[in-house]
């Protein structure tokens, strides 16, 4: 697990460390991935997905198109979820190695028919190209997506918390020495609110609690007029 997490972080920061024909920094990525302040939880996936100890795994990805397809697959996500069955708010593709911009554009066009993008951000892709490949493979793709399927992660988190807290108050005494017990209920409400926000976006494509003036259109994002009010929060 540590090797996979290190692989993800290495790909995330590659554009800042190595040359490339289309380098981006993390600030640019977060600007494009966070359309509303409250929904800043980003899922990550890597293709090919392998550890440095598994030398043969990298060779199983045969071509560039397969690499891009795998990056959107549920099997390559670093947390449980299937983004192809939920709505995309935005997406970033950070590519390393011998992949040209034309390859990226072709695969984005190819995948668009499978992705359910919100109506106000139909072209919500940010692309970064780094010329230096990862270790033991000629190229790789890191896909960062703000997708509504992340709400299932918070649902499971809530269920596990309630199993311990509601019935047994297990381990609570370790925390009440330092914080009020009411903080547990407040944190639970925050988790529920996050689920509600993503559920609204999944069903309606926007947040009912956001005013019309603050809704972000696809045109604003393409013209670089949007400034996010949140931080990047990856889920791995």
222 pLDDT tier (thresholds 50, 70, 90): very low
CATH topology of domain 2-149+231-235: Rossmann fold (3.40.50)
Tell me the C-alpha distance between 188 and 193, whole Å. 9
**Domain locations along the chain:** 2-149+231-235, 153-210
Give the per-residue pLDDT at 204.
80
Rg value, the chain, Cα: 19
Give the per-residue pLDDT at 61.
58
Q: Is the pTM of this model over 0.75?
A: yes
Is 127's pLDDT higher than 70?
yes
- For the chain, give the mean pLDDT: 84
56 pLDDT tier (thresholds 50, 70, 90): low
Per DSSP, 22 falls in state B
Q: How many residues does the chain have?
A: 236
Residue 33 C-alpha from the chain's centroid: 8
Give the per-residue pLDDT at 90.
96
C-alpha pair distances (Å), 43 with each of 18, 37, 163: 24, 16, 25
pLDDT in tens, 28-54: 888 899 999 889 999 999 999 887 676
Give the per-residue pLDDT at 225.
43
Give the per-residue pLDDT at 229.
35
CB contact at 8 A, 226 and 216:
yes
Q: Which residues contact 176 (CB under 8 A, 6 or more apart)?
A: none
Instruction: Classify burial at 20, counting beta carbons within 10 Å of its beta carbon; exposed 0-12, middle 13-18, buried 19 or more.
Output: middle
Catalytic residue among 28, 158, 186, 215: 28
For domain 153-210, say whether CATH 1.10.287 is its number.
Answer: yes
220 pLDDT tier (thresholds 50, 70, 90): very low
Give the per-residue pLDDT at 3.
84
pLDDT in tens, 135-192: 888 999 999 999 999 999 999 999 999 988 887 788 888 888 888 988 988 999 999 9
Q: Does residue 28 carry a catalytic annotation?
A: yes
Percentage above 90 pLDDT, the chain: 51
223 pLDDT tier (thresholds 50, 70, 90): very low
């Amino acid at each position: 697990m540590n090797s996979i997490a290190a692989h993800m972080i290495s790909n995330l920061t590659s554009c800042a460390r190595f040359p490339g024909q289309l380098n981006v920094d993390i600030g640019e990525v977060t600007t494009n991935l966070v359309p509303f302040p409250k929904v800043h939880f980003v899922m990550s996936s890597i293709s090919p997905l392998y550890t440095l100890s598994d030398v043969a795994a990298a060779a199983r990805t045969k071509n560039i198109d397969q690499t891009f397809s795998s990056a959107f697959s549920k099997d390559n996500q670093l947390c449980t979820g299937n983004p192809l069955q939920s709505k995309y708010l935005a997406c970033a593709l950070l590519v390393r190695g011998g992949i040209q911009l034309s390859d990226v554009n072709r695969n984005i066009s190819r995948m668009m028919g499978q992705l359910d993008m919100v109506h106000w951000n139909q072209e919500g892709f940010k692309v970064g190209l780094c010329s230096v490949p990862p270790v033991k493979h000629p190229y790789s793709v890191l896909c960062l997506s703000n997708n509504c399927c992340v709400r299932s992660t918070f649902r499971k988190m809530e269920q596990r918390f309630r199993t311990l807290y509601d019935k047994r108050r297990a381990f609570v005494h370790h925390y009440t020495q330092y914080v009020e017990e009411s903080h547990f209920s407040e944190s639970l409400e925050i988790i529920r609110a996050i689920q509600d926000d993503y559920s609204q976006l999944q069903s309606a494509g926007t947040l009912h609690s956001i005013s019309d003036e603050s809704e972000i259109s696809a045109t604003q994002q393409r013209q670089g007029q949007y400034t996010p009010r949140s931080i990047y929060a990856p889920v791995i």
